[in-house]
Amino acid sequence: MKLHRIGLIAASMLAAFAAHAENIKIGAVQGLSGPPAIVDFGESYLQGNQLALKEYNATSPKHKIEFIVYNDEANPQRAVSLVQRLISNDKVSAVIGTVNSGNVAAFAPMLQQAKIPLMAGPAIATDITAKFIDQNPSYIFRCSMVEKFQVDSMLDWGVKKFKKIALLHGTGGYGMFAAGEIQKGMKARGMELVAVESAAPNVTDMTPQVLNLKNSGAELVLMFHDSLELLYRAMPKANYKPVVAGNWGLSSQMVLNIVGQEALEGTVMGQALDLGDAKAAAFNAKMSKEFGDKYRWPVVAALGYDGMRILLQALDRAGGDPAKIQKALETTTGFKAVSGTPEKPFGPKDHECLDAENVFLGVWKGGRVVKLR
């Protein structure tokens, strides 16, 4: 009789757990092929997602998570098609992605209309969440760098240190957007750029642009072109060694492997991960062990890791209902990030996991990126 009662209690407990446990689908659309810089971003962010999910599954979690990953090939039409598939066919409860800000701009309205939370990243265009924040509720969140934050940090530092600042940017969508932000920011700080040079996305040599930068006398060159390595290849030909600063792409291990430690020494970029911090260093070691040589970009991986962890914590509290997940994301507190993400990542009027004060400048020093002091 006693054993029978224990069996009934155990069965009822399992039934209660089963009633609350769910199989929940998370979709990811990510840039995993195309230009090398795109792939570097996409793979690194996805690696962070994957490690976070692996750790979650190791805790005997409340819910079973199915992670569905699609490659958008940095193509906006394909990205839109894949997100529609995630909504209509896969019936996901949340979506993560992608590298290309234009792709996010194309599919974010679909997710807002479908009332399915998006954790955007690693796209960095300034207005990704701002476009939706007044829709009450907004389903568009982001855990990534924000362009304006890194540009503002860079210009605040640059105008104090250098009298002559120049810009080299790409003529694609991102490069033109960054150029506009920088030119507005310089004017707001009472300075003008001494030179503005541009290069097409498919350029293979930047020697003409670098010679013009040298002739301008620029002491600091702001680099906002996807082919980051071309500047470093052209500078020795022109016998020109300015300080270089640019977006967080300059912190990639791939750039270090291509141009070498000596060329990168002293290069400054936007950052949200201080590898001098013990927690960040431990994360970096864990990622290196997990992914080996395929792990190349600590800050992007860290934001992918934190973004997925925030989402998983929300799912634990909300289950698979997208509306409840949205509320859970806005009310997350006590979060322990490895990146600069604060303990309360989001609120009803703030869907960026990073605030301006969480973004700082990093510098290549002795073969690694450390916080600029």
At 11 the pLDDT is: 46
10 versus 66: which is more confidently predicted? 66
The pLDDT of residue 26 is above 90: yes
C-alpha to C-alpha distance for 113 and 72, rounded to whole angstroms: 21
At 8 the pLDDT is: 43
> How does pLDDT run across 171-219, given as a tens digit for each residue?
987 788 899 999 999 999 999 999 999 999 889 999 999 999 999 999 9
pLDDT band per the 50, 70, 90 thresholds, residue 37:
confident
At 142 the pLDDT is: 98
At 201 the pLDDT is: 83
- Total-model pTM: 0.87
By the 8 A CB rule, do 137 and 114 touch? no
Residues of 38-63 as b/e, b for ≥16 C-beta within 10 angstroms? bbbbbbbbbbbbbbbbeebeeeeeeb
Least confident of 14-28, 98-112, 191-205, 224-238: 14-28
pLDDT band per the 50, 70, 90 thresholds, residue 325:
very high
By the 8 A CB rule, do 152 and 356 touch? yes
Comma-separated ranges of CATH 3.40.50.2300 domains in the chain: 2-145+280-356, 148-246
C-alpha to C-alpha distance for 248 and 299, rounded to whole angstroms: 8
Q: What is the average per-residue pLDDT within 255-280?
A: 91
289 versus 176: which is more confidently predicted? 289
At 17 the pLDDT is: 42
Domain 2-145+280-356: assigned CATH number: 3.40.50.2300
Cis before 61 (ω within 30): no
Right CATH for 148-246 from 2.170.270.10, 3.90.1150.10, 3.40.50.2300, 3.40.640.10 = 3.40.50.2300
